[in-house]
A and B are shown apart, each in its own frame.
Chain A
């Protein structure tokens, strides 16, 4: 598979107005996404995962770093962003809020066509996109308003509105978090079908490892603005290496084989990033004395840890305690 997107050293920081100092929402991300791949970006609320994908599409200004999309570095000018936004699209956590209540479903889907001046009969493009997103027959949905359809259908409208532009990359911000459990599976299945039929790549942000398990090819785990572990979904879920990933996995209800690890300590604050390994104040290895026994406790507390790739490059972990196995 060839590479579609490469992020290198991406930072997004804000000046915090109340206290002195900066909020490091995204604090140095290196990541690649291949064509036709579903990457799940997993982490707690506030870890910067949504900020990261908003930065990819230019909704948040990047402080430093570079984004290479389809072989070309993304510039930040209005015109370049506009061109990029035809090939990169986004769907949102709250489909109700993401649809203008005064516009019909037809208009919501047609908006992108009009913005980019796509050729072709507009009603048919809209109908095809709606049908592709599973809203059939499309003509029944076109004249309706967002408040007249269900939450799952609204998310399908957003998907149709994004897919009508024929993007190469779809960014999905918690695509099913606001939906009923019964329709989550349908939306996830739809996303998987879109990948298989159109070859699109998806970066899905989620706090739900179950979702990652269902649709992701690869998983990137984020903690406090950094990626702490990346790898193929099956490997990461079956054999988590980073203590944070282990803790996340242990509290997934289905993962009954693991002993539950409830993380202690304060929830992370991107305005006040701990020294050393940013996870060390909450790390089970530190708390249990394991780190001390391994003789790395000083490094945990004082040396910032970098993401280290396995020899094959498929797996990366950022932890002083982990020695990567040779992968195949």
Chain B
């Protein structure tokens, strides 16, 4: 029995996780579209992280840029030209990626946390809990999103954290519905019955059986929630509801629009931010779809049947 005594379930569990992780990676690698998305994403994240070294923050200040030429097309000194105040568009682009990605990730964390809690409680407990939570979800779903976000953003102080809060509390309902649906199918699996017959408590069933089988779906919906959050931030910033001290891509667009960049045909002012948003959103969506296909058991089963 020496083999038995030395058997460690924890080691075995880790070996298994490593195996399924590397299995997932190798499947992801074969998905070229998802890999393109991932590479673009990693590029933007690196840019956001090293922004202070790429371009001094002073480039964002109109006072520090007082001696720069205004409306200057791209040149060697200003790779993306300058705006109506002589500020470097390149600096705005680089620093703007920070705000956009931060808001995207942070709002997603909030969205997914609320959505998962509501979805799992509603699906698992059912009955009254389900009815109340789902009516609440419906209520949030049918509220016209933009007016609510505008009202909230206008009522609250204009800080980046309030923008995150606004996006978080308005975009969780679809996540909640998705996760509830998956919990409902997992809940009826026979292994949940077996756990109950073994005497398992509800927390045990949720932690050991429901969560592990819902987690892949949660992870996949994360990657699809980020681009929505980024687009929402852009919208709010474009409407002038964002933190005026933070340069996001949406704010760049708003300022370019306000300064008449389109009328002056100063394409270098609004194109970088616009293309940056499109690229990040597209990259997240491509990567998210690929990840979803690997992680969502329903999509995988369909793939296997085909």
Chain A interfacial positions (CB closer than 8 Å to B) = 57, 59, 78, 81-83, 85-86, 89-90, 92, 94, 97-100, 102-104, 106-107, 110-112, 115-116, 121-124, 126-127, 137-139, 142-143, 158, 161-162, 165
CA distance A59 to B198 in the complex (A): 11
Assess whether A111 is in contact with B195, with CB atoms less than 8 Å apart: yes
Total number of residue pairs linking A and B with CB closer than 8 Å: 94
CA gap between A103 and B12 in the complex, in Å = 11
Interface membership of B204, Cβ < 8 A? yes
Provide 29 A-B residue pairs closer than 8 Å at the C-beta atoms, listed in order of the A residue.
A59-B196, A81-B199, A83-B199, A85-B196, A90-B194, A90-B197, A92-B194, A97-B189, A98-B190, A98-B193, A98-B194, A99-B194, A100-B189, A100-B191, A100-B208, A102-B212, A102-B213, A103-B208, A106-B7, A112-B199, A115-B204, A123-B4, A126-B4, A127-B7, A137-B3, A142-B4, A143-B7, A143-B15, A161-B198
Chain B 171-191, CB within 8 Å of chain A: the 1/0 string? Answer: 000000000000000000111
> Complex formed: what's the CA distance from A104 to B8 in Å?
12
Contacting residues, chain B, for A142 (C-beta < 8 A) = 4, 7, 12
Query: Of the candidates A59, A78, A124, which one forms a contact with B197 in the assembled complex, judged by CB atoms under 8 Å apart?
Result: A59
- Whether the Cβ atoms of B201 and A82 lie closer than 8 Å is yes
B209 within 8 A of A: yes
Q: Which residues on the B side are within 8 Å of A83 (C-beta)?
A: 199
For the complex, is B200 an interface residue (Cβ under 8 Å from A)? Answer: yes
Contacts of B13 in A (CB 8 A): 104, 107
Contact A111:B198 (CB < 8 A) given known A94-B190, A123-B4: yes
Tell me whether A124 and B5 are in contact in the complex, defined as CB-CB below 8 angstroms, given that A82-B201, A85-B197, A85-B199 are known contacts: yes
A297 CB → nearest B CB, Å: 44
- Interface size for B (C-beta < 8 A) is 29
Determine the residue in chain A with the shortest Cβ distance to B196. Answer: A59
For window 79-99 of B, CB contacts with A under 8 Å fall at none
Partner of B200 from the list A106, A115, A138 (CB cut-off 8 Å) is A115
By a CB distance below 8 angstroms, the chain B residues around A92 are: 190, 193-194
> Closest residue to A144 on the B side, CB-wise?
B12
Q: Which of B1-41 contact A (CB under 8 A)?
A: 1, 3-9, 12-13, 15-16
Distance between Cα atoms of A81 and B196 in the complex (Å)? 10
CB distance A123 to B5 under 8 Å? yes
Distance from B47 Cβ to chain A, minimum over Cβ atoms (Å): 37
Q: Contact at A124–B200, with CB atoms within 8 Å?
A: no
Decide if A123 touches B7 in the complex (CB within 8 Å): yes
Q: Which residues on the A side are within 8 Å of B204 (C-beta)?
A: 115
Q: Are B193 and A85 interface neighbours, CB within 8 A?
A: no
* A115 touching B199, Cβ below 8 Å: yes
- A121–B5 touching, CB < 8 Å: yes
- The contact of A127 among B1, B189, B196, B199, by CB within 8 Å, is B1
Minimum CB distance partner of B7 in chain A: A123
**B interface, CB within 8 angstroms of A:** 1, 3-9, 12-13, 15-16, 189-191, 193-201, 204, 208-209, 212-213
**A112 CB contacts on chain B under 8 angstroms:** 198-199
A97 vs B213: C-alpha distance in the bound complex, in angstroms?
Answer: 14
**New A-B contacts (13) at CB < 8 Å, excluding given A115-B200, A137-B3, A139-B7:** A59-B196, A82-B201, A85-B199, A86-B199, A89-B197, A100-B213, A103-B208, A121-B5, A122-B9, A124-B1, A139-B3, A143-B7, A143-B15
Establish whether residues A97 and B190, one from each chain, have CB atoms under 8 Å apart when the complex forms.
yes
Contact of A104 among B3, B12, B190, B196 (CB under 8 A): B12
Given the complex, which residues of B lie within 8 Å of A122, measured CB to CB?
A: 9
Choose from B4, B189, B194 the contact partner of A158 (Cβ within 8 Å): B194
Q: Contact between B197 and A106 (Cβ–Cβ < 8 Å)? A: no
Could you tell me the distance between the alpha carbons of A112 and B208 in the complex, rounded to whole angstroms?
12
Q: Across the interface, name the chain B residue whose C-beta is closest to A113.
A: B198
A34 to chain B, nearest CB (A): 22
How long is the Cα–Cα vector from A123 to B197 in the complex, in angstroms? Answer: 22
Of B4, B12, B195, B199, chain A has the most CB atoms within 10 Å of the CB of: B199
Q: How far is the CB of A300 from chain B (nearest CB, A)?
A: 39
Closest 9 A/B residue pairs (Cβ): A85-B199, A97-B190, A127-B4, A139-B3, A100-B191, A90-B197, A98-B190, A82-B199, A112-B198
Contact across chains for B208 and A139 when beta carbons are under 8 A apart: no
Chain B residues with Cβ below 8 Å from A59 are: 193, 196-197
Instruction: Establish whether residues A111 and B200, one from each chain, have CB atoms under 8 Å apart when the complex forms.
Output: yes
Minimum distance in angstroms from A258 CB to a CB of chain B: 37
> Which residue of chain B has the shortest Cβ distance to A95 in the bound complex?
B190
Query: Smallest distance from the beta carbon of A120 to chain B beta carbons, Å?
Result: 12
Least Cβ–Cβ distance between A231 and chain B, in angstroms: 29
